[in-house]
Structure 1
Amino acid sequence: MMRLSALYRYPMKSAAGQLLDSSRVGLLGLQGDRRWMAVDAETGRFLTQRLLAQMTQMNVHWRGEDGVLLTAPNMPELFVAVPTGEDALRGVTVWRDSFRVPDAGDEAAAWVSRFLGRDCRLVYVPEARARQVDSGFGEAGDKVGFADGFPLLLIGQSSLDDLSARVGRELPMLRFRPNLVITGAEPYAEDSWKRIRIGEIEFRVAKGCSRCIMTTLDPATGERSADREPLTTLKTYREREGEVYFGQNLIADGAGELQVGMTVEVLE
């Protein structure tokens, strides 16, 4: 029997993840997931671990609709309130999408800039300002916050176990930053799914997740693998048309509560 074995939330894009026992799921995925983002102060372009490995050491603790608590090594704690509709809007860019979202203020910007060593701003995306999912893989009204392209990512534990065996060492799931982890399926079984149900919520499987250099970063230390693993091994058997795939992007049809241990049913 397949079950939901883990839930992860990433309150800030590319900052550390948090393991959850349960979570509300809505239009933008898990509650509080990737609603905050650091951007270049001049251009508004999104910043990630691809460029700044030290982002692995930033912890952004979700405090509900009130805000987030920022913590990092050798930095004071800072609570940042969710910007209101009266706060200044800032133009930001995530890949090819450019849009305007509330700026979290100068104190938050100074904190993030100090830790990352460059001039940054911290921004927040309200649901009303979320982006439309690529129409080639989603439907009208499907939205995503600051995640790369989709509101949810699923990985089968057996798939990671198989990859770890091929690499020759155990790889932490957080290298791949999923939201949902499934046990009880064959390795890469998720590749063939089109629709699944967990609890009372149905999910569409939108497309495979193409992987990048971020998978070579140790999420605990921020150090990059000298052998470029697991990307090197993934390229030997998970590459097609120049992209390397691992995990599946999901879109929820409706809202509800997810809890670790729930049964997972493949509908199609």
Structure 2
Amino acid sequence: METVLGTVERIWRYPIKSMGGELLDEVAVDARGLVGDRLYAVRDAEGKFGSGKNTRRFRRMPGLLHLRSRYPGGSVAELPELLDPDDVPVPDPTAYVRRYLGRNDVEVAREGEISHLDQLPVSVLTTATLDWMRAAVPGVPVDERRFRPNLLVRTPPGTPAFVEDQWFGSTARIGQTTLRLRFERSSERCVMTNEAQRDLPHSPQILRTIARAHDMRLDALATVARPGRVRIGDTIALT
């Protein structure tokens, strides 16, 4: 017997890693995740990817979240379009990023041997958890963009926060297509959740709240058990 978890309310894809993404009505999902998701990144001469933090893989490049990316016409066969902070498309993404960051050693590059994904292919967040976050940090603007999920799932009234934890080890059917996701674990959150972007101001309260309430974890990360498509309004049900 299936257990219905909720319905897909929004679908997010991020063509260029660490930038704002695009809202979709539907998208194909393969073993790597949403087709075209984080397929490009800002890369420096040492091969590190632009991010909000410095680690072995990432180089802090402040301001990337004020930019946005999308695929023209939805086709991932083309280089993604980069939009400046005023949402105006730029003619040359690499040239623009170099001027924007004040660095000549960066480029917008397609994924090669090293994956651009931080953790697992698909991130799923519920409205129950998102609503809890809003209540936990009153006065701080919060929406799902701070947590960069691929799928925002509308859960039934009364669903507890962090319900995603209950899904780990289970497989979910998405809509009426072949798509199946296997929920594995949650994301380990970092300073990116605090970063300013577009109309969301910087706020250290975000990460502190997640750390205090849920050990730095928030969402459900999934692998793709069977490729397919996901659409707005699709039911998500544990099989």
TM bin (shorter chain): 0.7 to 0.9
Which of the residues 176, 190, 194 maps onto 1:212?
190
Which of the residues 186, 196, 199 maps onto 2:172?
196
Cα separation, 2, equivalents of 1:28 and 1:130: 13
Deviations 1:2-45 (A, max 9, x none): 1111110100000112111111111221121100001112x111
Unaligned stretches of 5+ residues in structure 1: 80-106, 132-144
When normalised by structure 2's length, the TM-score is: 0.83
Asked whether the equivalents of residues 30 and 227 of structure 2 are also in contact (C-alpha less than 8 Å), the reply is yes
Q: Rate the CA distance shift 1:19–1:74 in 2: closer, same or farther, 3 A.
A: closer
Cα separation, 1, equivalents of 2:110 and 2:120: 17
Asked whether the equivalents of residues 158 and 188 of structure 1 are also in contact (C-alpha less than 8 Å), the reply is yes
Q: Rate the CA distance shift 1:109–1:265 in 2: closer, same or farther, 3 A.
A: same
Q: Determine if the alignment matches structure 1 residue 156 to structure 2 residue 142.
A: no
Match of 2:202 in 1: 224
Moved segments of 4+, more than 3 Å: 73-79
| Equivalent runs, 1:257-268 vs 2, <5 Å | 257-267=229-239
What is the Cα deviation at residue 73 of structure 1?
3.8
Secondary structure at 2:19's aligned position in 1?
Answer: coil
Which of the residues 218, 225, 228 maps onto 1:256?
228
Cα separation, 2, equivalents of 1:245 and 1:112: 31
Q: Rate the CA distance shift 1:46–1:184 in 2: closer, same or farther, 3 A.
A: same
Deviations 1:165-196 (A, max 9, x none): 12124511100000011112522111111221
Deviations 1:64-87 (A, max 9, x none): 1122222214897445xxxxxxxx
Asked whether the equivalents of residues 56 and 222 of structure 1 are also in contact (C-alpha less than 8 Å), the reply is no
| Equivalent runs, 1:39-54 vs 2, <5 Å | 39-41=43-45, 43-50=46-53, 51-54=60-63
RMSD: 2.1
Q: Determine if the alignment matches structure 1 residue 116 to structure 2 residue 117.
A: no
| Count of aligned pairs between the two proteins | 217
Match of 1:142 in 2: none
Secondary structure at 1:233's aligned position in 2?
Answer: helix
Unaligned stretches of 5+ residues in structure 2: 54-59
Secondary structure at 1:155's aligned position in 2?
Answer: strand
When normalised by structure 1's length, the TM-score is: 0.74
Give the letter aligned to residue 62 of structure 2: A
Match of 2:31 in 1: 27
What is the Cα deviation at residue 110 of structure 1?
2.7
Cα separation, 1, equivalents of 2:88 and 2:163: 44
Asked whether the equivalents of residues 75 and 115 of structure 1 are also in contact (C-alpha less than 8 Å), the reply is no
Cα separation, 1, equivalents of 2:29 and 2:126: 19
